[in-house]
Amino acid sequence: MTLLTLLALSGCKGDDWEEHGPIADGIMAPLGDPLPSATPEQLATFERGKAVGLHRFRPSQGLGPAFNVSFCLSCHEKPVSGGSAGLYRSFFLSGRLTEDGAFVPGESAGEAGGVIRLLDVGTDHLARPEIPETTTILAQRNPIPFFGVGLIAELPEDEILKRADPDDADGDGISGRPNYDRGFVGRFGRKAQTVSIEGFIRGPLFNHIGVTTNPLTEEQRAALPVDSSGGGDMAARYAPGFFDLGQAAAPDGPLVDLDDAPDPEMSTQDLFDLVSYSMLLAAPLVDDPTPDSEAGRLAFNEARCTDCHTPRIKGPRGPVHVYSDLLLHDMGPELADGLVQKDATGAEFRTQPLWGIGAVGPYLHDGRAHTLHDAILAHGGEGTASRDLFAAFD
């Protein structure tokens, strides 16, 4: 149980600083609060963006025609705004795999970008979309917390890539590899399928609420509070013409739908504020160590959890306590959902950051685990050795 204590309070092959060095200043705050380093102007933007996230859309404002929720933060409410949600907010992705293994999102009525939408503006009840016979993939997803995403966006690509070992050259059974989004290292989504926080927000706005948006202007992107270039060319990241409605993809063209509300249904100013709010969410505070948490840290290392859950990654502000390598790992057939996203196979998932983990259950990509204990025991594939070592602690 000491390992679980560490997780509730909250490493990869690496240097001693990854566990014992100082954490960057000005990045931690109580859950849902902004970065302490935020300027007064950024704090005002943060509050405006939070208000956008809490705004309940009406049909006249663009809700629907099919939808799952009426406001953004209904899926990111636990334990505070910016977090995750219970199983009642889980959703399903559907589609099929082509002969060459590519994922094609579902195309039935009531779906958007592969997301099954269960409510209809016209009837105000379950839309019950018919799933086409060609559907071969039906994957459940639980909402992902947004704490610290701006800090993750800042992490240099080489700091992520240096932990990759796609061919398991060191023979330790861990073969993490990056996912790529238009040539850049992905870091957001259950399969690290996108690098763009803007796109990560625009996709679900449309897929779950039915709200259309236009891309931010280059001037607005330059004014965002977090540098998310990741060491690359920011302009190249938003290549004109890129358009993908897959859940948590990064659409970069104007989005339109078939309801009566004029497109775009959210202004670029509101979108700017919402993206800025997400970027400014602080990393969760780290509690002071206790004898139990110190014993848990040692058990965490002994079980080799740190092979994937890297305690700290160096960012431009200093070490960030993300407890993830942000790489893809094969988690075995029991966790596999068959969903192929960019370079990620149906059995691969991004290592989930563990900061604030005690407050954001249920756990795993589909919310199947109600406790951290169950989540660890569900690990397979590259996580098998750690799972077995953990089980031996009982």
Secondary structure of the chain in the HEC alphabet?
A: CHHHHHHHHCCCCCCCHHHHCCCCCCCEECCCCECCCCCHHHHHHHHHHHHHHHCCCCHHHCCCCEECCCCHHHCCCECCCCCECCHHHCEEEEEEECCCCCEEECCCCCEECCEECCEECCCCCECCCCCCCCCCEEEEECCCCCCCHHHHHHCCHHHHHCCCCCCCCCCCCCCCECCEECCEECCECCCCCECCHHHHHHHHHHHHHCCCCCCCCHHHHHHCCCCCCCCCCHHHHCCCCCCCCCCCCCCCCCCCCCCCCCCCCCCHHHHHHHHHHHHHECEECCCCCCHHHHHHHHHHHHCCHHHCCCCCEEECCEEECCCCCCCEEECCCCCCCCCCECCECCCEEECCCCCCHHHCCCECCCCCECCHHHHHHCCCHHHHHHHHHHHHHC
Residue with structure tokens 């900061």? 355
First-residue to last-residue Cα distance in the chain: 8
Distance CA 238, CA 249 (A): 12
Q: Domain ranges for the chain, please list them.
A: 2-32+284-393, 40-275
Bridge partners of residue 115, in order along the sequence: 93, 112
**Which residues of the chain register pLDDT less than 50?**
1, 11-17, 229-246, 248-250
Give residues with Cβ within 8 angstroms of 58, minimum separation 6: 70
Residue with structure tokens 């269960």? 118
pLDDT on residue 52: 99
Dihedral sign (CA 116, 120, 124, 129): negative
pLDDT on residue 47: 99
Q: How many CA atoms lie within 13 A of 180 on its CB side?
A: 8
What dotted CATH number matches 2-32+284-393? 1.10.760
Model pTM score: 0.91
Nearest to 210 by CA among 311, 344, 115, 84: 115
pLDDT on residue 193: 92
Distance CA 130, CA 248 (A): 23
